[in-house]
Amino acid sequence: MSESKKFILQEQDIPTAWFNIIPAMPVKPAPMLDPASKRPLTAEDLFPLFSEEAARQELNFTDSWIEIPEQVRDLYKIWRPTPLVRARGLEKALDTPAHIYFKNESVSPVGSHKLNSAIPQAYYCKQQGVTNITTETGAGQWGTALSLASKMFGIELAVYMVKISFNQKPYRRSMMQTYGAQVIASPSMSTRAGRKIITEHPNYQGSLGTAISEAVELAMSTPNCKYALGSVMNHVALHQTVIGLEAERQMEMAGEYPDIVIGCFGGGSNFSGISFPFMRHNLAGDRTTRFIAAEPASCPKLTKGAMRYDFGDEAGYTPLIPMLTLGHNFSPANIHAGGLRYHGAGAVVSQLKADGLMEAVDIPQLETFEAATLFAKSEGLIPAPESSHAIAAAIREAKRAKEAGEAKVILFNLSGHGLIDMAAYDRYFAGDLANYDLSETDLTETIAGLDMVPGHE
């Protein structure tokens, strides 16, 4: 292991505004639709579901910068600004001329980037007197972040946790309970959506889509209760831009600018967070950085999905979102990167991908664990299985740079640490992990019946 170099900002350098990429997009995303009337949604339509401010941010197509409330910025100071690290150990292990940097979002109290959005979402709920929040969680990272954020503002939280993770990742459940949240394995008998799925498929191990249905149903039927989502939505991507805004200044300190920016991809929030601030310079015509989203080969919405109007959840309670999707009934293989097992991509990222302003790669599970162990041995940090997809993509690019003899500057986001995912590493060491491939027929079935998005027929 060789010495890595860190670039550290001060508290006063935490951004004062989030960056909203939508006004700069050459083609705006199509509007979200009301599923019954197929009418474009207004912010007011979302008020029953989300906090009013989150709803307004969701549909803000005009303001490029949105001020971070002072109380939110103060809470960010608990762990932000996060370090930017030159991964000299990894460079050496790969014997590459590329310069590899990573933004370390794993240093948050909950171990991932998710707290960047959990805090403002809980804050906006508190501002309007909300007493209860419901949410879903896949691998448990979002649920953990929102448990802490809710506790910070004295709000009660109920978390529907995908059943397979509830059983595979008991410590993430313990963390949520430590922060005082109620955790329910999904599908559960506590909602209509959950009871329907259990009745039809008694052994169903759950999915994010199902858990979202349950959380939304509980929020809509409980007074003074809102729902909060940890990815996919525009306002979540917006909050995550603190990552890229800090990284931009840190790259300046390093005296470099990235040729390639990489983030792993579940619904798009950490990828958006690291990418959008750099992408604004591409959109302004000043830079030609490549942006790469790294998704699992078993859940490849960006590389193999279709642009359709689809629900964010399985039961169809959410608005229709114009997204690159595998279909809301798509049931991904039980890979260990639970946070990436989601059927669709957010509307903004979907449009950027369709317009060729970013790229995507899909990575088989075993390659992600190879990348993770190489990274751990050379940099000391044990990455989350989700983040390992970004590392694997960065390694592919560093190898390509070596073949071409080019000193490319590569920046990736380390979205979280893997210290609560060691059971997955154990299975990798025991040779129990497999790659999963998708057959074309799976997809035509799950996409059939979804409406086309205008401009993407």
Q: Which residues of the chain form contacts with ligand PLP (CB under 6 A)?
A: 112, 114, 141-142, 231, 264-271, 339-340, 384, 386-387, 415-416
- Closer to ligand PLP by Cβ: residue 267 or 319: 267
CB of 322 to ligand PLP, least distance (A): 18
DSSP string covering 116-146, please?
A: HHHHHHHHHHHHTT--EEEEEESSSHHHHHH
Least CB distance from residue 222 to ligand PLP, whole Å?
25
Handedness of CA 360, 368, 247, 12 (dihedral sign): positive
Complex with ligand PLP: residue 53 or 105, whichever CB lies closer: 105
* Nearest distance from C-beta of residue 108 to ligand PLP, angstroms: 10
Place of tokens 């302003």: 357
Q: Which two tokens stand for residue 204?
A: 């169903």
Q: Which is nearer to ligand PLP, 31 or 273 (CB)?
A: 273
Q: Smallest gap, in angstroms, from Cβ of residue 454 to ligand PLP?
A: 26
Between β-strands 225-227 and 132-137, what pairing exists: parallel, antiparallel or unpaired? Answer: parallel
Residue (96 or 269) nearer to ligand PLP, CB: 269
Nearest distance from C-beta of residue 253 to ligand PLP, angstroms: 25
CA distance 239 to 241: 6
Q: Which one, 114 or 163, has the nearer CB to ligand PLP?
A: 114
Burial 62-95 (b: 16+ CB within 10 A, else e): eeeebebeeebbebbeeebbbbbbbbbbbbebbe
Q: How many helices (H) and strands (E) does the chain have?
A: 19, 16
Q: How far is the CB of 373 from ligand PLP (least distance, A)?
A: 17
The nearer residue to ligand PLP, 40 or 170, going by C-beta atoms, is: 170
C-beta of 103: minimal distance to ligand PLP in Å? Answer: 12
Q: Strands 65-67 and 17-19, how do they pair?
A: antiparallel
Closer by beta carbon to ligand PLP, 126 or else 343: 343
Instruction: Examine residue 187 and say whether the peptide bond preceding it is cis (omega within 30 degrees of 0).
Output: yes
What b/e string do you get for 245-272 counting C-beta neighbours within 10 Å, with b at 16 or more?
Answer: bbbbbbbeebeeebbbbbbbbbbbbbbb
Q: Hey, what are 88's tokens?
A: 């000299």
Q: Which of 276, 305, 285, 287 is CA-nearest to residue 413?
A: 276
